[in-house]
Amino acid sequence: MHEAPKSLSDYRKQIDEALQDDFLRRTLDTFAVSYRANREAVFQEVDERGLIAQIAEAKDYACQHMEELYQQFKEQAEKRGVHVHRAATAKEANEIIARIAKENDVKRVVKSKSMTAEEIQLNPALEAEGLIVDETDLGEWIIQLRHEGPSHMVMPAIHLSRYQVADDFTKATGEKQDSDVQKLVKVARVQLRRKFIAADMGISGCNFAVAENGAVSTVTNEGNARMVTTLPRVHVAIAGLDKLIPTLDQALTALLVLPRNATAQRLTSYVTWMCGAGPCAAAPGNKKIMHVVFLDNGRTEIAKDPLFSQIFRCVRCGACANVCPVFRLVGGHKMGYIYIGAIGLILTYFFHGKDKAKVLCQNCVGCESCANVCAGGIDLPRLIREIRSRVTEEQGGGAQAALLASVMKNRKLFHSLLKFAKYAQKPFTGGTQFQRHLPAIFLGKHGFKALPAIANKSFRDRWPEIAPKAQNPSMRVAIFSGCAQDFVYPEQLEACVKILAAKNVAVEFPMEQTCCGLPLEMMGQRKTSIDVAKQNVQAFAVGKYDAIITLCASCASHLKHVYPKILADEPDVLTQAKIFADKVIDFSSFVHDRLGLKAEDFTNSGDRVTYHASCHLCRGLGVKEAPRELIADAAQYVPCEEEEVCCGFGGTYSMKFPEISAQLLGNKLKNIRETRADRLVVDCPGCVMQLRGGAEKTGLNVKVQHIAELLAENLKR
């Protein structure tokens, strides 16, 4: 079993090792690309959002009625000869299963893949009782031979090459094995069949426990699980209480999504339903001895949590890992303790301890890809941020984070320091827009991109000179600048003002606004995040605006979606916060949808322009077509491969995990280079910072701009 890292420095070492694994990188890269395309194809024939909503509703109901569903399941299953148990802890679950084995004179156990069994560390517990335990899922058997934990909930051995597997099979069989995949499968089949025949007990997981009829199910792509549940005279199914679901129809609805999400299949190979103890020639009286063990392990307490109870919508499809740009680089052993991916970062905190979660939960770039595909509609990014906040509150977030939080809380101090930085940086910029002459000791692993210089004059200081005066304006709006555009890229905001002024829009810039607070959320500094949120809401409360425009997709998503949630317990500002959030709109949507700018409003430059879809725009806000149509109106739009994959910035993430940030940036620049575009435009200054800095460092001859700059340049006078 892999160990959870104890410190951030230890974790970085583990990540470095993973990044050096070329096979892992190639395998996960190939899988990620094919999975995304195949998943999109298999969901075209069903109502994806509708099905996810149905699953969420059914699972939420099950969570709220866990006790009565358990009792209903127990009553129905026992009518059919099944023994039903309930374990409060992992230790108790292991003891129950060991006792069943002892009572039935069990010597050998075969087991099908079960994340719940991994959660309680069942195999070592049974082996300590003198039992021989053999995994029978091919992937699980492979990692058992290696004494590892699964690296994916559906594909546990995805991190291994066929050559590694051949070596493992050679050791297991005592005979030299060929690395040909089909030959390895045949070897496994021979070995595992012997184990099925010799086994006294079969242990399976459970995808669904249907209360209305006491049935349990397994969902697999191999027939081995069926042999586990049918051949041995004793069968034990182990299930978390969260696997309870009211009706068979609801389980069947979930099955329309589970294989599509897990492996981009319409239907998995084997869906087995067991309703009662069936016939078995090896059992006394030709009737199988069947037990179902339900595991609590904190689940009933989590079910009471109004926020975290949604984790029980999870159907263990692994899709959150499949689309995660970080998982794609480092694999599952670096993305959870037992459970992996976004859900793994969360479940580790509850099932395996806060100490194990403390470091792991930091390794989220915040791209929201996981939330976009979750079969249960779980707000995974929010829950990860909440875990960070809880860990910080309970254990502290470090002196550096605390100092930064205290500075950002004080707007005047924060802005004064940024203004001071423009003078302090002069020896290092050489009069350019980059920090060109920083000593290498200051850069460390951050030298993969050129760092931007602070602007000579911030946008707020330029505002009195450039503020437009509209006569009989068509609309009245306010600009939320964010930190980067106010102090690093004011020209992006000026481009926006130019467009708004040309369309006779009255524009205001509230001077009391400050950082949106997203970096604080990413650091787990919830209290300070709430403080700056209140400052911003109050800053914009002074005016009656038709819209609050921001050119930062990350700011927009945070202001719109997070403010009403983190201010829910602040009655003095909550109402105003909701009004504020409702008015927030990203630049591209405002220009495209509200102003209605079209091709005739621009002089098409003919420049080849490609696009990077900022994470918080395309997923956080769901804005996809508007920026692409605007680019095509003003220039020649050239699509780029994987436009919606994260560039690796993630705000403070790029500072905390520069190794991963650099790899994500490199992948993005490669795709941009292949377009042969003259320009790259984005909707987020953070992405500009990452991509412009990367292009500068690597010598990529492409002009990186905010989309507002492209549109302002080509706007007809």
CA 405 from chain center: how many Å?
A: 25
pLDDT at 376 over 90: yes
CA 632 from chain center: how many Å?
A: 31
CA 591 from chain center: how many Å?
A: 30
Q: Which stretch of 106-115, 262-271, 421-430 has the lowest confidence by average pLDDT?
A: 421-430
As a whole number of angstroms, the distance between CA 586 and CA 548 comes to 8
Instruction: With residue 421 as reference, give the H or E element that holds it.
Output: helix 411-424
Contact (Cβ atoms closer than 8 angstroms) between residue 180 and residue 212: no
Of all residues in the chain, what percent are helix, strand and coil, respectively (each to 5)? 55, 10, 30
Of the two residues 678 and 411, the one the predictor is more confident about is 678
pLDDT at 494 over 90: yes
Amino acid at 665: L
Q: Output the CA torsion 333→334→338→340 (10° steps).
A: -100
Could you report the per-residue pLDDT of 136-148, keeping only the tens digit for each? Answer: 999 999 999 999 9
Of the chain, the percentage scoring pLDDT greater than 90 comes to: 80
Contact (Cβ atoms closer than 8 angstroms) between residue 209 and residue 74: no
pLDDT at 582 over 70: yes
Contact (Cβ atoms closer than 8 angstroms) between residue 313 and residue 258: no
As a whole number of angstroms, the distance between CA 569 and CA 566 comes to 7
DSSP 105: T
Rounded to an integer, the average pLDDT of 458-472 is 92
pLDDT computed for residue 262 by the predictor = 94
Taking CB atoms within 8 Å and a gap of at least 24, the contacts of 89-95 are: 89/296, 89/297, 90/119, 90/120, 90/121, 90/295, 90/297, 91/120, 93/120, 93/122, 93/238, 93/293, 93/295, 93/297, 94/120, 94/121, 94/122, 94/125, 94/126
The sign of the dihedral angle between the CA atoms of 302, 304, 305, 308 is positive
pLDDT computed for residue 636 by the predictor = 97
Delineate the domains of the chain, giving CATH numbers in brackets: 1-45+318-394 (no CATH), 65-301 (3.40.50.10420), 417-438+454-593 (no CATH), 597-714 (3.40.50)
Could you report the per-residue pLDDT of 4-51, keeping only the tens digit for each? Answer: 787 888 898 999 999 999 999 999 999 999 999 999 999 999 999 999
Helix (H, G, I), strand (E, B) or coil at 372: helix
Contact (Cβ atoms closer than 8 angstroms) between residue 445 and residue 662: yes
Instruction: With residue 504 as reference, give the H or E element that holds it.
Output: none
As a whole number of angstroms, the distance between CA 519 and CA 305 comes to 26
Which residues are CB-neighbours of 417 under 8 A, at least 6 positions away? Answer: 407
Which residues are CB-neighbours of 652 under 8 A, at least 6 positions away? Answer: 519, 522, 523
Structure tokens at 381: 């990014």
Rounded to an integer, the average pLDDT of 385-413 is 78
Residue given tokens 């939320």 in the structure block: 480
Taking alpha carbons only, the member of 665, 695, 698, 699 closest to residue 680 is 695
Structure tokens at 542: 């002074």
As a whole number of angstroms, the distance between CA 282 and CA 231 comes to 8
As a whole number of angstroms, the distance between CA 717 and CA 702 comes to 26
pLDDT computed for residue 417 by the predictor = 75
pLDDT computed for residue 441 by the predictor = 44
Of the two residues 408 and 12, the one the predictor is more confident about is 12
Q: Assign 443 a pLDDT band (cuts: 50, 70, 90).
A: low
Q: Which stretch of 323-332, 355-364, 578-587 has the lowest confidence by average pLDDT?
A: 355-364
Residue 566 burial by Cβ neighbours in a 10 Å radius (0-12, 13-18, 19+): buried
Which residues are CB-neighbours of 463 under 8 A, at least 6 positions away? Answer: 509, 511
Sheet containing strand 505-508, edge to edge, reads: 505-508, 475-480, 547-550, 584-586
Question: Residue 53 to residues 50, 220, 650: CA-CA distances in angstroms?
Answer: 5, 24, 29
As a whole number of angstroms, the distance between CA 659 and CA 244 comes to 41
Contact (Cβ atoms closer than 8 angstroms) between residue 357 and residue 368: no
As a whole number of angstroms, the distance between CA 613 and CA 684 comes to 9
Residue given tokens 């390794």 in the structure block: 363
Contact (Cβ atoms closer than 8 angstroms) between residue 514 and residue 550: no
pLDDT computed for residue 476 by the predictor = 96
Residue given tokens 């069990």 in the structure block: 106
pLDDT at 565 over 80: yes
Helix (H, G, I), strand (E, B) or coil at 383: helix
**292 has which bridge partners?**
84, 237
As a whole number of angstroms, the distance between CA 558 and CA 548 comes to 13
Which residues are CB-neighbours of 625 under 8 A, at least 6 positions away? Answer: none
pLDDT computed for residue 522 by the predictor = 87
Residue given tokens 């070592």 in the structure block: 124
Contact (Cβ atoms closer than 8 angstroms) between residue 637 and residue 711: no
pLDDT computed for residue 355 by the predictor = 85
As a whole number of angstroms, the distance between CA 191 and CA 169 comes to 10
Amino acid at 600: E
Could you report the per-residue pLDDT of 595-653, keeping only the tens digit for each? Answer: 999 999 999 999 999 999 999 999 999 999 999 999 999 999 999 999 999 999 998 89
Contact (Cβ atoms closer than 8 angstroms) between residue 258 and residue 376: no
Of the two residues 73 and 355, the one the predictor is more confident about is 73
Rounded to an integer, the average pLDDT of 519-528 is 89
Helix (H, G, I), strand (E, B) or coil at 444: helix
Q: Distance between the two ends of the chain, CA-based, in angstroms? A: 66
Contact (Cβ atoms closer than 8 angstroms) between residue 392 and residue 385: no
**216 has which bridge partners?**
209, 274
pLDDT at 327 over 60: yes
pLDDT computed for residue 442 by the predictor = 47
Question: Residue 688 to residues 290, 647, 648: CA-CA distances in angstroms?
Answer: 60, 10, 11
**505 has which bridge partners?**
475
Cα Rg, the chain, nearest whole Å: 28
Pairing of strands 475-480, 244-245: unpaired
As a whole number of angstroms, the distance between CA 460 and CA 418 comes to 12
Instruction: With residue 206 as reference, give the H or E element that holds it.
Output: none
